[in-house]
């Protein structure tokens, strides 16, 4: 089990934010939790610790949103996302930790900046599209495997459709329920579920129902606008730090 106090100082809010996101408040902002934990351990280690916790979160959130998801989008996204997972599994051993930090950093900064600026370019809602869905599904599946950061690419595809809030959240919930369970076998084959990682996951597991429950409560009662702005700002700051750490290792 990891015993470093700095790790837990970052891991506790990481798991809570991911749980809140899974519960439907600030969907796709789980990238903040992943990026935050990656400041204390290698991104691959963070992914291995968080995946079992996410799988439990997925069960809780899937039950809550089981009747609220877009089937047309799912038919487009899932095959491409599973192909992205296969691509991630085949290239995982060749990924430099610094490169993964940079990848997560770019995804996080791109997501946060798009959040702040996309309101200036409001347009009519888009329809589900096979070409765009396959492209962003592939990117989402790949980044979800190598760094558990598949949410922002998925958001790039779904947000322009301007779905109802609950339908949007439900679609992301069902999507990641399928993807996260699909990643278990390749993660195990790659040796990511070490005793240390799984024990650390177990220690953090009591935070799972607290985070998801808080997310469900906030989804129903609180306007997400302010929370999203705060989280987008935090994502930007953490992502810039990850970019700095990653580039400093390779330059």
Residue 120 pLDDT = 46
Please list the alpha-helical segments (H only) found in 23-129: 30-37, 43-65, 71-91, 97-117
Residue 81 has pLDDT above 80, yes or no: yes
Residue 208 has pLDDT above 90, yes or no: yes
Quote the CA–CA distance of 247 and 60 in Å, as a whole number.
Answer: 38
Label residues 87-124 b or e (16+ Cβ within 10 Å = b).
bbbeebeeeebbebbbbbbbbbbbbbeebeeeeeeeee
What is the rounded average pLDDT of the residues 119-144?
82
Q: What is the pLDDT of residues 58-75, one digit of tens each?
A: 998 888 888 888 999 999
Q: Do residues 130 and 143 touch, judged by C-beta distance below 8 A? A: no
Residue 195 has pLDDT above 80, yes or no: yes
Domains of the chain: which residue ranges? 5-250
Residue 127 has pLDDT above 90, yes or no: no
Quote the CA–CA distance of 173 and 240 in Å, as a whole number.
Answer: 27
- Tokens 């992914």 correspond to 47
Name the E strands within 100-162.
Answer: none
Average of per-residue pLDDT values in the chain: 84
Stretch (H or E) spanning 96: none
What is the rounded average pLDDT of the residues 194-207?
92
Q: What is the pLDDT of residues 86-112, one digit of tens each?
A: 999 998 888 787 787 787 788 778 877
Question: Structure tokens of 50?
Answer: 């968080």
């Amino acid at each position: 089990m990891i015993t470093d106090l700095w790790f837990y100082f970052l891991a506790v809010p990481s798991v809570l934010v991911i749980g809140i996101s899974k519960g439907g408040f600030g969907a796709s902002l789980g990238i903040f939790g992943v990026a935050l934990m990656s400041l204390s351990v290698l991104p691959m280690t963070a992914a291995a610790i968080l995946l079992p916790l996410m799988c439990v979160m997925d069960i809780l959130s899937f039950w809550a949103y089981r009747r609220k998801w877009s089937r047309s989008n799912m038919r487009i996204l899932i095959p491409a996302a599973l192909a992205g997972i296969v691509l991630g599994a085949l290239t995982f051993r060749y990924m430099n930790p610094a490169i993964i930090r940079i990848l997560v950093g770019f995804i996080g900064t791109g997501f946060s900046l798009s959040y702040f600026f996309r309101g200036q370019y409001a347009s009519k809602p888009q329809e589900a599209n096979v070409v765009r869905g396959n492209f962003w599904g592939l990117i989402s599946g790949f980044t979800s495997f190598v760094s558990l950061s598949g949410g922002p690419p998925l958001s790039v595809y779904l947000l322009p459709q301007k779905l109802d809030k609950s339908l949007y959240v439900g679609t992301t919930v069902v999507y990641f329920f399928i993807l996260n369970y699909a990643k278990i076998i390749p993660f195990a084959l790659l040796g990511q579920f070490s005793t240390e990682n799984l024990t650390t996951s177990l220690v953090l597991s009591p935070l799972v129902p607290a985070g998801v429950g808080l997310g469900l409560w906030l989804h129903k009662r609180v306007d997400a606008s302010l929370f999203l702005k705060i989280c987008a700002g935090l994502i930007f700051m953490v992502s810039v730090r990850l970019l700095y750490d990653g580039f400093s290792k390779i330059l």
